[in-house]
Structure formats: C-alpha cells, structure tokens
Amino acid sequence: MKYLEDVLIAPVISEKSYDRIADSNSYTFFVHPKTDKPQIKKAVEQMFDVNVLRVNTMYRKGKKKRFGYVFGQQSTRKIAIVTLSEGETIEAFGV
C-alpha cells in the first residue's frame, strides 16, 4: 500500500470485538484485502501511537442475499485482530 491510511478501512464494532478488547487487549479492524501483517502492524503503530504485539488476519466470506428478484452475494472482507501490549489502548473504540 502506498499510504498507511489505505490499510485500515474501519473498526469492527460488535459484542465479540468488545469482549476481545476486555479479555485480551485485542482490537479488530476491517483492512484492505491486499495488505499483509507487517503493513497492518506499521499502520496501527503509526496511526494510534501504540505498541503492537501480534497481528492475526482472516477473511469473512460474504453472505448470499436476495435483492428483490435477484440473488447476489455481499463482498468478502479481510479482518485483522491486533493485539496490543499491556496497558495500551486505542481511544477510537471508546472503551
């Protein structure tokens, strides 16, 4: 990626992601599909000024949906779970 702002698309706001924050200090983001773990780590460290311990990535397959008479599929998204060192937080999540 040319710019670090293009790596992280949006934070994942769900009960499961907030449980991860409370239990293991891990934050969940939607990321660009072509990014790799070192790029994600660098983007989080520079954008939020935190120390990242590890990055886990996975793909969430898009669900098949019906749009009127047409059957389609939502887009597949890449998710990154970023674990921070002890005592550090990201204020964008509001936790």
Domain residue limits, the chain: 4-87
Closest among 37, 51, 50, 27 to 7, alpha carbons compared: 37
Give how far Cα 27 sits from Cα of 4, 12, 45, 58, 72, Å. 17, 8, 12, 14, 30
Over the stretch 35-85, which tens digit does the pLDDT of each residue have?
999 999 999 999 999 999 999 999 999 999 998 999 999 999 999 999 999
So what's the pLDDT on residue 54? 97
Q: Which helix (H) or strand (E) holds 65?
A: strand 64-67
Q: How far is CA 57 from the centre of its chain?
A: 8
How do beta strands 26-31 and 52-60 pair? unpaired
Residue 94 has pLDDT above 70, yes or no: no
Q: Which CATH number is associated with domain 4-87?
A: 3.30.70.330
So what's the pLDDT on residue 92? 75
